[in-house]
Each structure stands twice: as structure tokens, then as C-alpha cells.
Structure 1
Amino acid sequence: MFANFLSDLAVDLNEGEILTTWAQQAPRKAWLLRPGDVLVTPVPLSRQFLRYVYGLTGVAPESVAIIEVPPAGAVPLAWAVRAAGLLDRVRALAGDRGAAMLPTALDASAIAFARDVGITVHPYPTLEAAEAALKTTMLLNTKSGFREAAEQLGLRLPAGRVCRRPQVDGMVRELLRDDEGVVVKPDRSAGGHGMRFVSRDELGVGALPLDPVGGPDGLWVVERCLDVSQSASVQLEVSASGTRALFSGAMRTVQGSFTGYVSPLSPSDAHVAAELEEWGKALGRHLADHGYAGPFGLDALVDTEDVTYATESNIRRTATTTPHAMVTRLTAGSANAHPVWSLSRGRTRTLLDFDGALTRLRDSHLAFDPGRGEGVILYADAPPDGRSWRYAVTARSARDLAEQETALAAVLEFEVG
């Protein structure tokens, strides 16, 4: 398990601050561990969290290895491993027993690191096959690359244009002649990072201020701002047998930034799920034709007239891939084999350590129960600030899910608003 959140696949490495923030989610990879596995992580995992994970997964601590890599700045994880002198340790643990690397993001540095260690990259049969997929992987993780592929495949897109940074201001003004609002996106970004919403009323006579994302002459996408009723996504997987949909759900967002997820989509949104799956499989065939194998996501917006528009693809393990695998693993064989589940985060009024938060959940009977397959899971360890908690909830129905989330907010004393 190679938790390379510090990668140039989703965001330029110059965006070091946001990458470092995302890397704090690396502990969630512990839910994938099985006997014999090795986890290489850019952040430490607390003993309390690991005890909690092993208790729910049944993995013996001595059967796995965790390599915590000291911070080395905004550099790929592979570089940080080398800088810390840990390459030989990784090689000794993994290189001589037919292991494969499971990276968060398939990028050039991860493939080079796999070659140094002497292992392949899952699910590719050879490193050469992984390298052959890099060009398409990098391209389809950009807004412009996705729009080009989506247009070829017949996916419905919001009206928009691709332009260089110096042309963004003029493009915004041009589109605002016909629309009340536009959204401006840096070409390579994820989770809503760097996105800017501009209304006709807000646009003054001066140049449009943009965040320093994408460089002075990088590509940007300017799109019509839809009247949105919900954000949705489908997660799929490309393999030798074709493309299959894994799950779909509704994304929780604030100003376009990802804050959480609920899966599956409601029965009233079955048509949205079906269209997303159809689009996702078309995109999967395109990816397979260009050598890609593995998981990917397709994001979309549904407007107030119930029309779905594809917005971007994430050709990597996303923020929902590992939590979904965790939920599937923990509920298998339980009384809740097909759970409704969510991801979210809340900020507590006071500082809590991991054991303190878990004790509150257990005392209030909200903690995940393996037999019932329901409850709250603290899936990402204690946050560095002791207050910004990420959690998952599993339930039998959307109503039960909402009730658990309301109770959780009271038990952990989340701030309101």
C-alpha cells in the first residue's frame, strides 16, 4: 500500500499546502491491510487507531508492516522514502516475495520506485504496461483532457471553454453575456481546489483575481454555472474482463469543494445512477483502449430540471474508493450486508484524542457494531488539530443514517455552521 497523496497526478506539486492536507487522510489505508501487507505512509498512525483497525478487521499486528516516512516537503512520496534512507527497508519487506504496489495515484515517481524495489504495480502485469498507461492517466485527470474525451464519447457537458490563464478574464466576461454565473477551474486540480464561482453582478471592471494555481500560463476551464440540485459520482474499475461499476452516490460539497459522500443514490435518482454508469463504462472502454487498468471515478452535476452533466474524471483511487472497500469488508457477513453509508467530517468544540472520541461513541452505542453492520467508524485516525474529525457511518436506510449523524454531532459536540 503506497499512500502517495503527494503526487502530481491530481494537483501540481507546487500546491504543497493542499497536498500536505490531503496526505493527513493516509491512515485510512490501514483498512486495506491483510496479513503480509506493507503500508508506506507519509504521516504517522497512532497506536490507538491501529489497535482499533486491527480489532475490527481481525488482522494480527505482527502480520503487517507499517513504514512511516518523515516529511520532506512538497515532493513525491517516493522521493521522501529515498531521502529518509528507507528504500532498503521497503525492498527487504516487499522486493523478494512477489509483492505488488497499490498506489493511491499512478504516477511516474511511483512506477520508478516500484522498479527500484523490484515489484510490479497492481493491477498491471509489468511495469512497462503501467508506464504505457501514464500518458492517458495524466491527461484524463485534467479538466481539459476530460472535456475532450467526454465530447468524443458523447457525454453531456456544461457549456464551457478551455483557455490559457491570460485569456481567463476575457472568457469569463464573454460567457457572462449570456449566463448569470460561471465557474472557473484550474486544469489540474481535485476536490474543488482552486475553483472560483463568478456571477455577473460580482464581476467588476478590474481583472479577475485567481488563486495562484496552475502557473502563469497554465490551462483553465471556464464553464456555465448550472442551477444545481445535487452533485453525484460513480466509481468504476477497469480490468481485463471489462469495466464494471462499483458504487455510486451523492457528493456533499460546499462551493464546489468535496466535504462528504452518501451511497447509494436514492431510488428516486435511479435514472441518474444509470446514466452515470453508462457514461462511466464508455469512459472505461476508452481508458482500456489506452492501456489503463484499475479504479476511476466520474463526477457529475444534476440541475434543477433533472438533467445530468458530466464534470470531471478522477483516474485514480479517490476519496471514496478506500472507505467503500472498508465498509464492504466490515459489513460482509453482518446483518447489514447492503448498507447505506456516508463519509463526512465535523469540528468538535473541544480537543479530543482518539480514545476519547471512541469512548464517547461506545458509551452512546454509536460505535460501529460488527454484528449489526451499523454504526460510526473513525476511519482516518485522530486529526492533527484534535478537532477536525473525519468519520463514516453505516446504516440500514437513509433515515437511519440521518438519525445516526444527528446523534453523532451531539455526542462529539460538533460546532454548528
Structure 2
Amino acid sequence: MISGHEGPGTLVILANFVSPLAVDLAEESVLRQWAEQAPRKLWLTRPGDVLITPVPLSAAFRRYVFHRLGVPENSVDIITVPDTSHLPMAQALAEHGLLEPLRTLVAERPAARLLPTALDEASAVLAADLRIPVVPYETGVPSTGTLRAVAAMNTKSGFRAVARSLGLRLPHGRACTGAELGQVTDELLASHPRVVLKTDRSAGGHGLHFVSRGAPSPPSPPPLPESRWVVEEYVEHTRAVSAQGHATATRAEVAYDGEMRMSGGSFAGYCSPLEGLPARAREELTDWTRALGGHLAAEGYRGPYSLDLVCSQDGTLYALECNVRRTATTTAHAMVSRLTSAGSSAWSTGTATAVAPVSFGDAGRRLTEAGLDFQPGSSEGVLLYADRPLDGRNWRYAALARTHTRLAELEVRLAAAFGSEEL
């Protein structure tokens, strides 16, 4: 299980979705969209913890989560950091006068540790300022060299360079500047019918542009000449898969795997564990994930990372990118492992769309009336994974069951409960 509560003491959980690690801080709209997912970090909390979030959590969601976790409602302190343009969330604490209140809370917790979503420089500086270690670093705070390596591996070009050295199979492609983008795109289109243009630092499908031969479609607005890009052949595939690894000082292991649900090239959900992968591809997935973790460990990195790939029609795997941070699936996996006695249960995440906006209470009642509401001690069911969405319609969920077949049945009933034909 990838959990921050593997050691003693309480956690200061930093939901720093606003971080330069995954995307440029100028991309304010996408950062704001990602920040709306921060309430899910409440599923990681235990009594005495502190949660730092970029968005407020409703009282209804807090009651909902704490009831299922068996955590007293007033035993977790929550600090909300207002949206701050062009500042990593860890820095925004001081900007809004919240650093001293946080310092007071930490002083009351002598064994506190910082658990950031993204291990960026600002979060490491915050931990050093608070004089608490970062989970799970043996020496307290990762070194400057480790932070540089993490930042590089969260770029498309940085990943490709390391992946080649480790022998991972990659789509044919090249890194380039914005000034070179048109020329490099044309050169790859001469050999491949379709290519993908990727901003070098991007995540979750943001910053992807698909271009076909004979139908040029450059990014709009035109990229800055000094911007960084990767252009790759588009690999025709049947599945998008991902393995989540965990690196320690002595080893790197695969914690879990699954199939990514995609929509227009963007991540839209997950289903775990992964089924039906050919034996050769399964072996490569494991070997490649461990090799990547070994490289990260040698750079001083400790903790979770993911390897994202596609599987072609003939079962061949192609590695696309890695995410060296807590990803969109780590909290869900930790939650499932915590709520079920057997950590091997099938589970999925996604979005259920209501035909009209509903409140958090109404959404919960729909699950109850459909016989889907997951309660403590249950072996299957559906959870409202995050707080009420801004539009009241697109509800993030996590579903749990003993088998994939049963999981699919629950998701069909979930769609019907929200008035949709499908999720």
C-alpha cells in the first residue's frame, strides 16, 4: 500500500496541486481545475493530522468521509489556502498569513511529517522551515540534487532520455523548441501518418495536440520560440495502462497497476488491477517499472511514481511518460486498502454525470436508494470520492467490488442512479 501513515506521528498533508512540477504556473485555468480534486486527500487523514487544501471542504463531505473512516470529525485540522496566481501552494501559505498558524499546529505535534502531493522545491523549503521531515525520507528533507532529478523526470524529454538508457520501448520522437516545432512535426509526419505534440512539462493529457499528415493543426496560440516540446509518433493502441511503483533506499516494487480510462487523450478514470495483458507485456511492465524506480532511487528519490504506457493491437507496450509524485490514483488505492480487509479488491474511479445539478446530500441519497452506498464493513459499493463539483453534475466516484464483473455491474447501476445511460 502506498500510504503516508507507514511511520510514527501525524501528517501534515499538503495538497499542493498548484505546483510547477506538473505544469507551468502560468496555466492558471488547468491548475484551478486540478485543485478542485484536493478534497479527496481527506481520505488519507487520521486523528491529529493537518490537511492543507487549495479549496474549502463542505461540512457534508467532511461528515461523509470521517464516518466511513471512523475518524472523529474534530480530530483533523484543515487549512484552506486561497488561490494565488503564479505561486506554488507551499509558498502561498506565507502570502496569506497562514504560515504562523501552521507553525503553531506543527509545534503541537512533535512527530509530525509533511506529505506533499508534488515534491517540488517549495514543499521541501516548507518542510525545512517547519523543521519536520518529508515522507518518507530517511534524512528528513530530500537533497537539491534529488529535487532537480524529480523535476526533470516530470518532463517528457527528461523521461525519454532516461527511458532510452533503461531500454524501455518508446514511440519514435524528438524533443525540440517551439521555434523548431513546425519543422520537427513535418519530419515525423513524413514517416508516420499521425503524431502527437506534447508540451514538455504537462500532465493528465493537458498540452497534447494530435496532428495528421495532410491536415496540419499547429497549437494555438503559436508556441513561444524558447518553449520546450516533444513530438512523437501516435501509436495505434487498444489500451492505455499504468503501473504504480514505490521506491525505497534498497528496492523498487510495483504497488499496483490498472487500465487508464481516457477521453480525448486526457485521463478520465482508472480500473485496477490490470487484467488481460499478454504475458510478455506483463513481464515488461513489471521490469520497466522496477527499472525506472531503481533509477529514481539512485537519484535519492523515495516514494510513489507511475509509468504510463499504451498497448498496441498485437500486445506490444510503448512507454509514454512517468509521473514522479502522488498521482490521480495513489489516494484512491490507499483509500481502498484502508476500507477493505483485502487490499486486492477490484476498484475503479471515474465521473458520474447527473442530468441536473444536485447537492452533496442528494447525491448520497441516490446511492443509498440504488443500494450502492459504501458503508464501513461493506465489501462493495460506491463512494463519493471528492466533494460536490462546482457544476453539481460531474461527480467523481470510486467503486469497490470483489471482481471486475461485479465492478462493471455497479457502475451501470451508478449511471442509472444519476440519470445517465453510461458513465
**TM score, norm. by length of structure 1:** 0.94
CA 1:71 to 1:404, structure 2 compared with 1: closer, same or farther past 3 Å? same
Contact 1:124–1:130 (8 Å) recurs in 2:
no
Give the SS at the match of 2:344. coil
Does residue 118 of structure 1 match 2:131?
Answer: yes
Contact 2:128–2:141 (8 Å) recurs in 1:
no
Q: Deviations over 1:128-158 (max 9, x none)?
A: 5343310110000000000000000000101
Give the SS at the match of 1:313. strand
Post-superposition offset of 1:216: 3.7
Does residue 277 of structure 1 match 2:289?
Answer: no
**C-alpha separation between the residues in 2 aligned to 1:130 and 1:39?**
24
CA 1:415 to 1:399, structure 2 compared with 1: closer, same or farther past 3 Å? closer
Matched ranges for 1:5-20 at <5 A = 5-20=17-32
**C-alpha separation between the residues in 1 aligned to 2:86 and 2:198?**
22
Give the SS at the match of 1:281. helix
Q: Deviations over 1:304-363 (max 9, x none)?
A: 12100111010000000111101111112xxx6521111111321111111100011011
Letter in 2 for 1:37: D
Does residue 92 of structure 1 match 2:98?
Answer: no
The number of aligned residues is: 410
Contact 1:5–1:104 (8 Å) recurs in 2:
yes
What does residue 38 of structure 2 align with? Answer: 26
**Residue in structure 2 matching 1:302, options 291, 308, 311:** 311
**TM score, norm. by length of structure 2:** 0.93
Q: Which 4+ residue blocks in structure 1 deviate beyond 6 angstroms?
A: none
Identity of aligned residues (%): 47
Gaps of 5+ in 2: 1-12
Post-superposition offset of 1:211: 4.3
Of the structure 1 ranges 168-177 and 214-223, higher mean CA displacement relative to structure 2 is found in 214-223
Post-superposition offset of 1:47: 0.6
Give the SS at the match of 2:180. helix
Give the SS at the match of 1:53. helix
Give the SS at the match of 1:305. coil
Give the SS at the match of 1:386. coil
Give the SS at the match of 1:120. coil
CA 1:74 to 1:21, structure 2 compared with 1: closer, same or farther past 3 Å? farther
Contact 1:12–1:214 (8 Å) recurs in 2:
no
Does residue 163 of structure 1 match 2:163?
Answer: no
Letter in 2 for 1:155: L
Gaps of 5+ in 1: none
CA 1:212 to 1:284, structure 2 compared with 1: closer, same or farther past 3 Å? farther
Contact 1:13–1:75 (8 Å) recurs in 2:
yes
CA 1:268 to 1:238, structure 2 compared with 1: closer, same or farther past 3 Å? closer
Does residue 176 of structure 1 match 2:189?
Answer: yes
Does residue 149 of structure 1 match 2:179?
Answer: no
Does residue 52 of structure 1 match 2:64?
Answer: yes
**Residue in structure 2 matching 1:106, options 106, 110, 119:** 119
Contact 1:95–1:118 (8 Å) recurs in 2:
no
**Residue in structure 1 matching 2:144, options 127, 131, 138:** 131
Give the SS at the match of 2:205. coil
**Residue in structure 2 matching 1:266, options 275, 288, 292:** 275
Does residue 238 of structure 1 match 2:244?
Answer: no
Letter in 2 for 1:171: V
Give the SS at the match of 1:349. coil
Does residue 373 of structure 1 match 2:379?
Answer: yes
What does residue 402 of structure 1 align with? Answer: 408
CA 1:220 to 1:123, structure 2 compared with 1: closer, same or farther past 3 Å? same
What does residue 320 of structure 1 align with? Answer: 329
What does residue 6 of structure 2 align with? Answer: none
CA 1:271 to 1:354, structure 2 compared with 1: closer, same or farther past 3 Å? farther
What does residue 286 of structure 1 align with? Answer: 295
Q: Deviations over 1:146-178 (max 9, x none)?
A: 000000000010111111111111111111112
Contact 1:3–1:103 (8 Å) recurs in 2:
yes
What does residue 193 of structure 1 align with? Answer: 206
Could you say what the CA RMSD is over the residues aligned between the two structures, in angstroms? Answer: 1.7
Does residue 61 of structure 1 match 2:73?
Answer: yes
Contact 2:197–2:229 (8 Å) recurs in 1:
yes
Q: Deviations over 1:93-122 (max 9, x none)?
A: 114512110000001111111122221211
